[in-house]
Amino acid sequence: MNEKRVGRGCVVLRQGDITESGADAIVNAANNHLWMGAGVAGAIKRKGGQAIEAEAVSKGPIQVGDAVITGGGKLSARHVIHAAGMGTDLRTSPEIVEACTRASLEVAEENSLSSIAFPAIGTGVGGLDVNSVASCMLRVCSAHLLTSSGTLTRIEFVLFSDADFAAFQDALEAL
């Protein structure tokens, strides 16, 4: 685990399974129709239950780059924030990752959450380079903690692989 104080809060990196996070909300790297297929979405649905997907789909479709919140089902997290990091064409970009990261933070603040846990959005099916995603997501989250006044004080990144954790660790040190 690696932790860095930023503004009014802290950014935490840890390796593991995001579905185990005790944050107020975990972020699902979603498509804009909010169907939960493979990757992070599939893991969330398997562990948290079908009700999460049913609630998400009822709120969609949304614009690529936007986010919506649902209950957390059987997860430890009370909520899931579904960040539309791609359309149904499964294409994404650093700009989209930046937008949906920002939208996820805004949704967390609108719901008075104090902690949120992100995966490395866009690095699975989206095929983006984890180093550029790490820099982008950490920059957005750090700026949020430095410039906004709100309830979020803990932003966690839960990285599944050694390589993803190392990339985020390098990007955090470079901040």
Q: Which residues contact 89 (CB under 8 A, 6 or more apart)?
A: none
Q: Residue 136 has which token pair?
A: 């982008």
Q: What are phi and psi of 171, to 5 degrees?
A: -65, -35
- Print the SS3 string covering the chain: CEEEEECCEEEEEEECCHHHCCCCEEEEEEECCCCCCCHHHHHHHHHHCHHHHHHHHHCCCCCCCCEEEEECCCCCCCEEEEEEEECCCCCCCHHHHHHHHHHHHHHHHHCCCCEEEECCCCCCCCCCCHHHHHHHHHHHHHHHHHHCCCCCCEEEEEECCHHHHHHHHHHHHHC
The tens place of each residue's pLDDT in the chain, 175 residues long, gives 899 999 999 999 999 999 999 999 999 999 999 999 888 999 999 999 999 999 999 999 999 999 999 999 999 999 999 999 999 888 999 999 999 999 999 999 999 999 999 999 999 889 999 999 999 999 999 999 999 999 999 999 999 999 999 999 999 999 8
Q: What CATH number is given to the structural domain containing 56?
A: 3.40.220.10
Cβ neighbours around 55 below 10 Å, total: 17
Domain that includes residue 22, residue range: 2-174
Structural domains of the chain, count: 1
Amino acid in position 100: C
Cβ neighbours around 94 below 10 Å, total: 15
pTM of the full structure: 0.97
